[in-house]
């Protein structure tokens, strides 16, 4: 079901080194609360945090928005944070920003909880009009509109454990 490899393990690793440096510079003298959006961001979050020098605490939340390869447009909180984010420097980790619906909803909710700062790290951003107004602080790669799998990204819970990102080829 793989059409082609889009990002190799080595390419991802090299980009994570660069992102970690950028993040360390941005948060100099501060402590980060890294928040992973389950489940897709887990691979990205753990690999990136291992490269950081900045002190970091970790929490997760889970929302449900997708079924198959298309957005349902409906976002539901499945599992909320166990940490109070008020006064914390929150860095949200997202695997891929597609329409941006998920992030917009989470940003709205988190802003009402008064963090000291709220930033976004996305491994992938799809280059589509729907998400252009969203400002992302740290982006791994900008990709096309294709559906991708691997390195945390799934299709109905499959393929997450591929160590690279690939373009998924729909069955003809």
Among 27, 43, 60, 66, binds ligand IMP (CB under 6 A): 66
Cβ–Cβ < 8 Å for 170, 10: no
In the sheet that holds 32-38, the strands lie side by side as 70-79, 56-67, 32-38, 89-97, 117-126, 138-143
Strands 117-126 and 56-67: unpaired
Q: Where does this chain touch ligand IMP (CB under 6 A) — which range of 11-19, 25-33, 91-99, 111-119?
A: 91-99
Interface residue with ligand IMP among 6, 35, 148, 165 (CB under 6 A) is 148
Q: Cβ of residue 137: shortest distance to ligand IMP, in angstroms?
A: 16
Q: Among 90, 101, 106, 118, which residue sits at the site for ligand IMP (rule: CB under 6 A)?
A: 101
Catalytic residue among 17, 47, 80, 98: 98
> How many other C-beta atoms lie within 10 A of the C-beta of residue 96?
22
133 flagged as catalytic:
no
Q: Name the pairing type of β-strands 148-149 and 138-143.
A: unpaired
What does the binding site for ligand IMP look like in residue numbers (CB under 6 A)? 40, 65-66, 71, 94-102, 147-148, 153
Catalytic residues: 98
């Amino acid at each position: 079901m793989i059409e082609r490899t889009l990002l190799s393990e080595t390419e991802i690793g090299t980009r994570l080194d660069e992102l970690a440096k950028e993040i360390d510079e941005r948060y100099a003298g501060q402590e980060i609360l890294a928040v992973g959006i389950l489940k897709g961001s887990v691979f990205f979050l753990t690999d990136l945090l291992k490269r950081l020098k900045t002190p970091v605490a970790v929490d997760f939340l889970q929302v449900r928005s997708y079924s198959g390869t298309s957005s349902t447009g409906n976002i539901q909180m499945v599992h909320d944070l166990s940490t109070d984010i008020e006064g914390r420097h929150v860095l949200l980790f997202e695997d891929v920003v597609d329409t941006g619906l998920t992030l917009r909803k989470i940003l709205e909710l988190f802003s009402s909880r008064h963090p000291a700062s709220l930033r976004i790290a996305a491994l992938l951003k799809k280059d589509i009009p729907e998400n252009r107004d969203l400002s992302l602080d740290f982006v791994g790669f900008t990709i096309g509109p294709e559906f991708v799998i691997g390195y945390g990204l799934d299709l109905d819970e499959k393929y997450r454990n591929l160590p690279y990102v690939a373009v998924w080829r729909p069955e003809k």
